[in-house]
Amino acid sequence: MIMFTAGCVDSTSKQAYVIGVDTAMSPWEYIDKDGNPQGINMDLIEMIAADQGFSYTYYVPENAGWEMALVNGKIDTIGAVVITPEREDKYVFVEMPFEPTSYLVIARADSGLTLDDVLAGNASIAVFDNSVYVEWLKTHFGDAYNTMVADGKIIIKVTADELAFSVLSREADAAIAGTMTLGSQLNTYQPLKFLGFVGEPKSIGFIMRKNETDLYQKLTAGFENIQQTPEFADLVKKYNLQYRKDIYTVGIDESNEPWTYVGADGNYTGFDIEMVTWIAEQEGLDITFKPTSWKRNLNEIVTGNLDMWASSMGITDDRLRYVAFSNPYYISGIGVAVRPDSPLTKDDFEKADAKISVVYESTYSSWLEKHLGTDVYNRKIKDGSIALVADHSGMVAKLTSGEVDFIVVGDAQMKAAASKAIMKPVFIDEGVEEFGIAMSNGNFVLQSLINDGISKFISSGKSAELQKKYGV
């Protein structure tokens, strides 16, 4: 047992509470290198205590036995506990204002393992001892559960790090735990990959005995008040919490016809605009669109200023280092275009003095570098015969003005512009990139919702309808 004193309020005039710490529950709760409790729950309690005027101490139960400590009165509450009907029969909860936690399954990135393999019992699984995840496995596998434990197919662990290392060391093929617990490991250890969710999402909360009415009221009021503060917003960003927003901000290139652009009525329109709007309606999300430069879009997602980017963005290994993507919703070609009256051909494009414009840090610039070769590509940037621009409209402007002779563009943009006599195609490299919706790494709930929406978008025929409408 370890006791810690915290809080800045005089306990002689304010009631003091004992907050339990489960050190196995990083990033919710853990002990740092200096031996002090840290984590999301600690930050929340600090904010709520300041708001409600109470002091508190921390208590670490032996062997992570938080429930016995709660029953025996050694702690008054502990946070991030999964709310189940069985627990609600015995205790009361103050629900935490985050997305319901799902049971997340991870594996090694190089394993080739699928979620179906895990569900079929064809993989060994690491799981927390005495957890709701163990109960789910017992229900799922039935009588086979005890045999799997005896055979080493289900491996019991105590901490989140142990779950991750069990998979990384190949002791287990996969691991199952909560979204935040394994999500933090997934972002820490790149050799791990997300396989999918199992079970029904469940809310989490601070659990307490049924007679703790005063503490219940303080935590309830405290959560309501702190959600309006900058400190709470910082906490959400710091831990990349799955927090249900009132409105999700979707970044776009507003000149990227036919995907995202300003229509004749002054409103945003295009294939991606209609797709994201349709998905948001299906999944119960409120969205707003925000014009954002291609130079800044990934950074805006990483820093939390954008929740998503949907503007014909290709899924690449380089981008996956910084952000996550939905499943693909379109396969695109990349091509080269000239002015409508230009006599230039593909042979002219290959010449050393060809003047070309392309969007900076895009799949088009990557394609161009690969097509020309890195040395030639870099030389042409230095001598000015490749002009890098921030967005599609900048590229078209350089072509129209005669500043460049060629631009590199997606096949759909090329077709849309050609129909308006803005440019004409020279050649197209078919099917070289998959488009996806970008979002922050670790936001598995949002990723799952968007993937579900994309699946419906394709299977319902809505995708085919919009492809016909926009000529893509």
The pLDDT tens digits of the residues spanning 95-109 come to: 998 877 778 898 988
243 pLDDT band, cuts 50/70/90, is low
What is the pLDDT at residue 8? 44
State how far the Cα of 340 lies from the Cα of 418, in Å rounded to an integer.
8
Q: How far apart are CA 159 and CA 23, in angstroms?
A: 8
Q: What is the pLDDT of residue 162?
A: 85
CATH number of 332-432: 3.40.190.10
Residue ranges, CATH 3.40.190.10, the chain: 2-94+205-239, 101-202, 248-331+435-470, 332-432
Determine the distance from the C-alpha atom of residue 286 to the mean position of all C-alpha atoms in its chain, rounded to a whole number.
Answer: 17
For range 389-411, the mean pLDDT: 91
360, amino acid identity: Y
Per residue in 189-212, pLDDT (tens digit) is: 557 788 888 888 788 999 999 999
Q: Residue 111's CB: how many other CB atoms inside 10 A?
A: 17
CATH 1.20.59.20 fits 2-94+205-239, yes or no: no
pTM exceeds 0.85, yes or no:
no
| Lowest-confidence region among 64-68, 120-124, 182-186 | 182-186
Residues in the chain: 472
- Residue 33, both tokens: 């290198």
Angle at alpha carbon of residue 100, lines to 240 and 221, rounded to 5°: 85
pLDDT at 461: 96
- Regarding predicted confidence, which is higher, 64 or 18? 18
CA distances from 145 to 105, 135, 177, 292 (A): 17, 10, 17, 51
Written out in words, the top-level CATH class of the domain with range 101-202 is alpha beta
Domain 248-331+435-470: give its CATH superfamily: Periplasmic binding protein-like II (3.40.190.10)
What's the rounded mean pLDDT across residues 316-326? 84
**Nearest-CA neighbor of 314 among 279, 280, 365?**
365
Amino acid 58: pLDDT = 94
Look at residue 10 in the predicted model and tell me its pLDDT.
39
Q: Which of 470, 466, 438, 433 is nearest to 335 (CA)?
A: 433
- Whether 235 contacts 44, CB under 8 Å: yes
Residue 60: enclosing H or E segment and its boundaries?
A: strand 55-60
Which is higher by pLDDT, 252 or 10? 252
Across 397-420, average pLDDT: 89
> What are the b/e assignments for 447-458, b being 16+ CB within 10 Å?
bbbbbebbeebe
| Full DSSP string of 88-155 | HHH-EEEE-SSPPEEEEEEEETTS---HHHHHTT-S-EEEETTSHHHHHHHHHHTTHHHHHHHTTSEE
Indicate whether 73 pLDDT > 60: yes
In sequence order, what DSSP letters do the residues of 405-426 get, joined into one string?
SEEEEEHHHHHHHHHTTS-EEE
